[in-house]
Amino acid sequence: MTRVLVNDDPPAVRKGAPWLKTTLVSAAWAAVRTKDSYLQAQFHRLRARRGAKKAILAIAASMLTAAYHMLKNAVEYKDLGSGHFARRDRHKIIQRLVRRINELGCEVQLIPRAA
């Protein structure tokens, strides 16, 4: 019988300036409270799967990446909006909902609306 070792420790955040992590996490908490923003939508998606603490670190990392690219390319920040993920994954969302309705014992026919 083989033993499987499970590491319950979460992976450590990469080394760097501790003040920067603190500042980014504080800014991330403020950013996720902004209504109808991309960062808020990303936080809610990640929080459902990973938990709030890991999700906020991911948001902080996203903010740092965005800041880097804004400084490197000399462009302004453009928020993608809270509907970004719904627009991006529209087909997946439709298929998942159709599958769920079929599992509940109903049949559905999709007719796309005219734009």
Residue 59 near residue 24 (C-beta atoms within 8 A): no
- What are the helix and strand counts (H, E) for the chain? 5, 0
Say which residue, 114 or 7, is predicted with more confidence. 114
pLDDT tens sequence across 52-83: 999 999 999 999 999 999 999 999 988 887 77
Amino acid at 35: K
Cα of 100 vs its chain's centroid, Å: 23
